Amino acid sequence: AAYTVAVCGHSAFTKRYAEELLTPGVHVPLTRVRALWERGVTLGREVLWASTYGECCADPSAGRPARRVGFAAGDERQVKYLKHIGDDLPEHLRYDAESGTLHVGAAAFAPVPEAVRGYDVGGMGVVNKWFGYRKASPTSKRTSPLDDIHVESWPHGWTTELIELLSVLRRLTDLAPAQAVLLTDVLADRMVTVVDLTTAGILPVAPGARKARHAGEDTLFAADSARS
């Protein structure tokens, strides 16, 4: 998983394979070079750790504490809450590219690079989407009268959430250039081919291998049979 996200989970991959990705299914370039594989796994662990807010691939000795993705005090990338938001719910976001400041109503957060502000997933702006659910007039889809119930003031927890989100996006955008270089290096060197996998008996994939399997299920089913 770490290798796959390192090689495929960034904009350089989607730009390179824009036409191929119109057909469902991602083709993962598998390297034969051990050093490139290990580089991919190491880089991918950083991506997975950041993407899951520290739930996955935590390793304090490698600078990846569990469930804590913010930057340490003194780190120039640390997002600071420069100006408080006040009592009223904000209605608009404003971004000052020159100073790298994100304005949320009366509040201000910095530093926020342009790449972080504009980070998108499948064309969806992540920061805008997050704010859309929380602003004074939410832009989320209305499915029932319950959607009309909304907080009247900005909870402190949302400030913490936003700082964490901006920290995660900063980590991901900082890792993206290394992912792009890794992809280029993998494609320029020896790779595992479909013929290799077929010869080794890995392809075609057996039907049973596509079925989800959970640890302990055989024991569980055996116990159920015994009771019945």
- Give the model's pLDDT for residue 219: 47
Cβ burial of 9 (10 Å; 0-12, 13-18, 19+) is buried
Provide the residue ranges of all domains of the chain, joining segments of one domain with +: 2-188
**70-to-74, 125, 137, 145, 218 alpha-carbon distances in Å:** 12, 21, 29, 36, 42
- Cis ω for the linkage preceding 207 (within 30 of 0): no
pLDDT tens digits, 185-205: 999 999 999 999 999 999 998
What are residue 214's phi and psi, to 5 degrees?
-115, 140
In the chain (228 residues long), the average pLDDT of successive 10-residue segments reads: 97 95 91 98 98 98 97 97 90 97 97 98 95 90 79 92 98 98 98 95 88 60 46
> What's the confidence (pLDDT) of residue 150?
81
Helical ranges in 120-216 per DSSP H: 126-132, 156-188, 194-199
**CA-to-CA distance for 112 and 168, rounded, in angstroms?**
11
Q: Which pair of tokens denotes residue 38?
A: 């290990």
C-alpha–C-alpha distance, residues 199 and 224, integer Å: 41
Distance CA 49, CA 65 (A): 9
Q: Which of 5, 165, 203 is nearest to 70 (CA)?
A: 165
Structure tokens at 193: 């081919």
What pLDDT was estimated at residue 88?
84
Q: Is the pTM of this model over 0.85?
A: yes
Tell me which amino acid residue 68 is: R
